Structures are given as structure tokens and as C-alpha cells.
Structure 1
Amino acid sequence: MDATNSSTSLSFEVAAFNPSIIVGPVVLGALVDTCLFGCLVIQTYVYYANFANDHRAIRFTVAAVFAIQVAHVMCVSATLWNTAVSAYDDPSKLQILPLASAATILFTGITGALVESYFAFRLWKVSKKLLLPILSLVLCIIAQVVSIVITVQAFKTTSIAVFEVDQNTPITLALTSRVLCDLILTLSTAWYLKNQRSGYLRTTNMIDRLVLWTIETGLITSLVAVLVISFFLAMKETYIWVGLYTILASVNGNSLLALLNGRLIFRSVTSENLHMSTLSGSGGGRNKQNPFVINATQTVRGPPEVFKCDKWEV
């Protein structure tokens, strides 16, 4: 009788196991994260090839993000192995929290802190005010401290179900702080850039491009974090939130590199405008210098923080 009940219980567990919502999100998240890491490698090469004169703090930040992402993708790969290979013949192993997953939480938090710290510095350079940058840094610190606490608990806990229940509030707090920090940084930076528009068409167009680029790179990270929170709170029984959380660090790293490398676009546009202005001023006649003076002023007029590509300006 006991053997019959045991066989029935085992059959029920196997029948109830749905790999499409357990294994599938983890595999898909790992694959997407690997692709994003490839993009990060390319963007890192482009950055060091074109901005070798950036301040050492910025170059160190990029190097730190890249090194952390190397460790992050290794942990994600180990988690993928545990999920898709080690637990292939025994779905009950999927309830065990791998050590690589715990390390992934740590690396994701560090990447987010580095990226948000740079964005806070950029907001200060653009706005020349301290309130919003300090507020965003406070939220960043809160998220980072909570992430460290979650990581410690993850190393101590072996059951994913127990981990999700016990760390429900800390995980929600950390992700919410990240979302609020990203929104403050993105929207505030876009607002201050928008207010620096001038009456010159070329300067206005460049600022509009920069505002759009800022919003695009900033809101993507916020969107991913919001999705992680939503699926974590609404569908803990699935691993959809795990798959989304897997790519969060790579999205943060790529947003930083995309913003830094985006200066190449504005540098090329400025050079092209100056070249066209020089050609328009070489047409001969008594007034041949006037078009050059006017167009060059239109090209470079505007906030130094927007157009300069020296050590600190972005």
C-alpha cells in the first residue's frame, strides 16, 4: 500500500512539473544574457579605442563593469548547467538554490551600483545641483546594502521556495529602489538637458538627440527591473522573474557603455557641421568669412556638458 502511494505521489510530481515555466525562463535568460555580454565586449573595445583620454575614474568604472560582467556571465552559465543538465533526470533538484545563483545576485547589485553612481555624477554635471544626485545615490546605496544582505542569505539558504518567502520584502525593496533611482536619474537628466536648448537649430537638434538617447538607455533598465518585480510578486511559482533578473546586470552595463560610446555620434555630427561650415565660408567674395563664423557658432554654442568629449564631460 505504501509503495502504491509513493508511486502515485511521484507520478503526480512529475506530471505537475512544467519545464516551460521552470527551465524555459532560466535557459532563455541565460541565452539573452550571453548575447548581451557579447554586445558589452564590443562596446568595451569601442570605448577604449576611441576614448582613451577619458578621466581615469570613468575608465576604471568601465573596466570594473566589464570584469564584473565576466564573472556574472560565468555564474549565469553555471546556473544554466545546474538547471538544464544536473537536474535533467530529477526535477526536485530545481528547488535547490545553486551557489552560482547567489553569486549572480552579488554581481548584479555591484554592476547596478557602479552604473547608477556614474549616472548620478552625470546628472550633477548637467544640473549643477546636488539634491537629485544625492537622492539617487541614497536609493542606490539602499539597493546595494539590501542586495548584499540578500546575497548572504542566499549563500545560507538551500531551498529556493524558502528563499523566496523569507526574502520577499528585501528583494522587493532592492528592486524598487533600483527602479526609483533609474527613473530619477533618467527623467531629471532629460529635463535639465531639455532646458539647455538654444535658439539655434543644430544645437537644438543635438540636444534633442541626446535627450532621446538618455531616455532610451535609462528607461530600459527601469523596465526590466519593473518586470522582475511584477513577476516576482505575482508568479513566484514560476522562474520567469529569475530569467529576467539574469539579464538585469547586462542591461545595466550595456546602457552605460551605450551612453559613453554615443558621444561618437555627436562628435561626428559636430565635425561634419564644422566641415560644412568651412566649405560654405570658402566661396570667395568680400563676405566669404561671415557664413563660417555664424555656422561655427551655431554648431558649438550650447552647454559644454553636452558637446565636450574631454576627460569628464559627457
Structure 2
Amino acid sequence: MTRGGEPYLLLTGPLFIGSLFNWSLLGTLVIQTYVYYSSRYNDSKWIKGLVVATLSLDIVQTAFATHAVWQILILGWGNPATFTELPWTAYTFPVMSGTVAALVQFFFSWRIWVLGRTNIAHIVAIVIDLVAVMQMIAGLVAGIQTAFIPIEKVGELKPQFTIWLAGSFGADVLIVVSMLWILHQNKGGISATNGLIDRLTVRVVHSGAVTAVAAGVELVLFILLSATFVHDTPALFLGKLYSNVLLANLNTRRRNDNTYSSGVITSIANSYVHPMFAVHGGSELHSTVEASATQLHDTTSAGKFSTNLSDHV
């Protein structure tokens, strides 16, 4: 038996599924934010401000997305014209996602700048910033232009959407590759340190792959199925993925850790020991780095290993 909604399945279904993921990831983000602030990290004000900004933007994005989905699936039920006259909140998807993604990418590029401490690392960090700005602007332009053209002509905006999604994907890949390069540069003859770096390498790949894969999937879906709303499924929660990755990285540290405080960042910049080892944390990482330090011949350098280490990766 044919159901009335089946002809519009590729329009209604993706919005419903995307909305479910959107709300689920918002719940996860709220919990992670609570854990972050209850841990009382001694972070710089701009780091705490970044957490507040991403959470606030994601709450607003969820409100906009819910309004759009409600207007289309509930109030517009049974009226095919609703798919050609979308609510204004539907055009905010690329705008909000691009903005949150850029903020998170700025954080990771800053971390590459601090950890790399080489001209190459600094150049890569600047490139990541430029790509992040580019994809954010492309998302803004795509969202605005979509509001002024018929829905069936959205496919004509492929360049704008491609720059937005390909930019997000490219920045994520650059971040992962850069962090892997920095980790690889610190491998040596100390087995304990090498084991630590191997574990951090897996973590970097996992966290970077989440957002890169989501942006890549959305790009492919938009190119292949731009006449449907299938590509809107990841678009609805892409920003939440970035925010959750940011909080997951900030929360993988010990309570009372002060890695991102101004004083620690200054000491990192002036340290003789590579900053990769001056900023790792957690009881496991602490013991690993401490064991590595005992194997160093240069006692002055070994003394640079702080007891208040934290995971900067």
C-alpha cells in the first residue's frame, strides 16, 4: 500500500533524522560543558570564552533547526508547497555550522602554532586559519543566496557549498596531518615516550576523522543529491560534532590542570624541552613522561618536565 508521504521521503526523512542527531549531540555537548566547568581548569579567559561561544551558537542553531523542521514536517504536512517556500531558519544551516567549525579550527591551529614552534608549523597554522575563514564566509554566502532563489535552483550554488564543505574537510585534514607530523618529530629512542606518542596518534586520527568524514559525506551528498534534502542530514548536526570534539579534547586532562593558562603558554614558548612533552597530562601520561624524563642524560632538560602536565593533543 502506498503511503501519502512516500513521494516526499527524500525531503522529509533526512530532516527528521538530522533533527534527532542534532538534539542528541546537543545533549552530549551540554554534559561535556558541565564536566569542563566542574573540573575547574585554570584555562585562559579566551579558552573559556570559546567554550561558551560554541555552546551558545549550538543552542541557537538547535532552536533554528527545530523551528525549520517543525514548519516543514508539522505545519506543512500535506502541503507540497512547503518544500518550495522554506522558513527563513532553514537557510541558517550552513551559516551556523560554518561559524562553529571555524571557531574550533582556530583553536586547533593555535595549538599547532604553540606545539610546532617551527616556521613550517606556523605557516601551516596560518593556512588553516585562512581556510577556516574561507569556508565560514562560503557558508554565510551560500545560506544568504539560498534564501533568494527557488529551492529547485539550489544546485546552481554548488561552488559556494563546495567551498564551504571542502574547506571544512581540508582544514580538518591539515590539522590531523600537522598533529601527526609534530608527534612523529618527537619520536626517538625512548620506548615509553614512543608508546605515549602512538596512543596520542590514534586519538588525533579519531578526533580529526569525525568532523572530516562528516563534512566529506555532506559534500558528496550535496553534489549527487542536491535536488533532495538528504545532504541536510549531516548539515543539521555538523557544528555539534566540532563543538563536541573541542570539549572532548579540553576534558582529557587532569582536574586543576592549567595547560591553557597564560603562564603555562609562556613557559612552553620559553622551554628548552619540546612543548609536546611540556604539556601532556592525565595520570597515565604523567607517569609515562616522567619515566621518559629519567632516561634523559641532560638533567637540566629533564627538570623541565613539570609535574602539572596536561594533554595538549
TM tier, shorter chain?
A: 0.7 to 0.9
Contiguous gaps of at least 5 residues in structure 2: 255-279
Query: Aligned match of 1:149 in 141, 144, 159?
Result: 141
Aligned to 1:285: none
Aligned to 1:247: 237
**Does residue 20 of structure 1 match 2:34?**
no
Q: Which amino acid aligns with 1:49?
A: S
What is the deviation of 1:124?
A: 1.0
| Secondary structure in structure 1 of the residue aligned to 2:43 | coil
Aligned to 2:268: none
What is the deviation of 1:25?
A: 0.8
Contact 2:281-2:310 within 8 A present in 1 as well: no
Contact 1:109-1:144 within 8 A present in 2 as well: yes
Query: Aligned match of 2:151 in 157, 160, 180?
Result: 160
What is the deviation of 1:97?
A: 2.6
Aligned to 1:308: 309
Go from structure 1 to structure 2 and tell me whether the alpha carbon gap of 1:238 and 1:216 turns closer, same or farther (over 3 Å shift).
Answer: same
**Does residue 111 of structure 1 match 2:94?**
no
Q: Report the Cα distance in structure 2 between the residues aligned to 1:250 and 1:301, rounded to whole angstroms.
A: 40
Q: Which amino acid aligns with 1:160?
A: I
**Does residue 186 of structure 1 match 2:176?**
yes
Go from structure 1 to structure 2 and tell me whether the alpha carbon gap of 1:118 and 1:28 turns closer, same or farther (over 3 Å shift).
Answer: same
| Secondary structure in structure 1 of the residue aligned to 2:187 | coil
Q: Which amino acid aligns with 1:308?
A: L
Compare CA radii of gyration and give the structure with the larger one.
1
| Secondary structure in structure 2 of the residue aligned to 1:97 | coil
Query: Aligned match of 2:294 in 294, 297, 301?
Result: 297
Contact 2:109-2:125 within 8 A present in 1 as well: yes
Matches within 5 A, 1:1-314: 18-128=7-117, 129-157=121-149, 159-162=150-153, 164-264=154-254, 266-270=281-285, 273=287, 297=294, 308-309=309-310
* Larger helix proportion of the pair: 1
| Secondary structure in structure 2 of the residue aligned to 1:26 | helix
Deviates more, 1:214-223 or 1:144-153: 144-153
What is the deviation of 1:224?
A: 0.6
Q: Which amino acid aligns with 1:135?
A: V
Contiguous gaps of at least 5 residues in structure 1: 1-13, 278-292
Contact 1:102-1:154 within 8 A present in 2 as well: yes
Aligned to 1:289: none
Aligned residues with identical type, % of pairs:
24
Contact 2:192-2:291 within 8 A present in 1 as well: no
Contact 1:203-1:301 within 8 A present in 2 as well: no
What is the deviation of 1:51?
A: 4.4
Q: Which amino acid aligns with 1:35?
A: S
How large is the Cα RMSD of the aligned pairs?
2.9
What is the deviation of 1:295?
A: 7.0
Contact 1:196-1:302 within 8 A present in 2 as well: no
Q: Which amino acid aligns with 2:282?
A: R
Q: What are the Cα deviations for residues 71-109 of structure 1, in whole angstroms up to 9, with x where unaligned?
A: 011111112202210121212212223211122322111
What is the deviation of 1:69?
A: 0.5
What is the deviation of 1:237?
A: 2.2
Go from structure 1 to structure 2 and tell me whether the alpha carbon gap of 1:256 and 1:294 turns closer, same or farther (over 3 Å shift).
Answer: closer
What is the deviation of 1:185?
A: 0.9
What is the deviation of 1:47?
A: 1.2
Q: Report the Cα distance in structure 2 between the residues aligned to 1:239 and 1:151, rounded to whole angstroms.
A: 15
Contact 2:155-2:226 within 8 A present in 1 as well: no
Provide the TM-score with structure 1 as the length reference.
0.80
What is the deviation of 1:294?
A: 5.9
Go from structure 1 to structure 2 and tell me whether the alpha carbon gap of 1:302 and 1:247 turns closer, same or farther (over 3 Å shift).
Answer: farther
Contact 1:108-1:249 within 8 A present in 2 as well: yes
Q: What are the Cα deviations for residues 201-223 of structure 1, in whole angstroms up to 9, with x where unaligned?
A: 33222222222111111111110
